Amino acid sequence: MTTLQGKTLFITGASRGIGKAIGLRAARDGANIVLVAKTVTPQKNLPGTIYTAAEEIIAAGGQALACPADIRFEDQVQAAVKKGVETFGGIDILINNASALGLTGILQTSMKRFDLMHQVNVRGTFLCAQACFSYLTESANPHILNIAPPLNLDAKWFAPHLAYTLSKYGMSLCTLGMAEAFKEKEIAVNSLWPQTAIATAAMVSLAGEVALQRCRRPEIMADAAYLILTKSSRECTGNFFLDEALLRSAGITDFDRYAVSPGTPLIPDLFV
């Protein structure tokens, strides 16, 4: 069975939530994790830093390199890639997980917030893929995984929070375009999205602590990501996976273990 032992993952937004969970799952195989995130000091409302996440990765059995970076800036991304390659010898997997959120209506969305979402979500995904590309071509099983939704042109996903939807679908379109463009190089490009809301700091800021009881833990996304990343890059590209459906296809039926509060009705995620 394929594992991630010795593989190097470049993960954006890796200091907490889904990004950290994917890093921890890979670390159990003995993977190398390049953690890319902005949080370098403890924040009042945000758990953990890039350094505490690195400590957890090492404790889980992996190697970790904390690279403080804001993916809106090309020089910072290039520096993180360079440092990761110097430390671990290459990059096998890119996880475009970092994301800016804003569920505001068209007239309520400031252009500053609009720009932030597009710079982080779309431009950051595009930039990180560009920066990692030459190293991915040297990997035996290269993958790019975007934490982005399946494309659904139903207007109900656009009207209430148009700016956010545009930015997340921009990531999804990167999956579509890059999967085809990078096929000759045998670099897999896929999207993964949760079927239900995930218990993260973003969820708390949106709906409060009480909403967490109706969420699943980030580990469900990590386990689903692991299934994708251990597939052959030649045979698995251009897909839009949902975590639950993917895990069920692999024979996993016990989803209570992922629930924050087993038996409590779950909140469906956006775009599904």
Q: Smallest Cα–Cα separation from 142: which of 48, 236, 245, 244?
A: 236
- What's the rounded Cα separation, in Å, for the pair 97 and 109? 23
Reported confidence tier of residue 201, pLDDT bands at 50, 70, 90? confident
> For residue 35, how far is the Cα from the chain centroid?
12
Measure Cα distances from 241 to 98, 190, 249, 255, 272 in Å: 18, 8, 11, 17, 11
The 3-state DSSP composition of the chain as helix, strand, coil percent (nearest 5) reads 45, 15, 40
pLDDT in tens, 23-49: 999 999 999 999 999 988 888 777 789
pLDDT in tens, 229-256: 999 999 999 999 999 999 999 999 999 9
Evaluate if residue 205 carries a pLDDT over 90. no
Annotated active-site residue 135? The verdict is no
Contact between 95 and 19 (Cβ < 8 Å)? yes
Q: Which of 135, 164, 226, 258 is catalytic?
A: 164
* Mean pLDDT within 95-120: 97
What structural domains and CATH numbers belong to the chain? Answer: 8-258 (3.40.50.720)
Output the 3-class SS for 109-159: CCHHHHHHHHHHHHHHHHHHHHHHHHHHCCCCCCEEEEECCCCCCCHHHCC
Q: Which pLDDT score, from 0 to 100, does residue 1 have?
A: 64
Q: Tokens representing 134? A: 């030459």
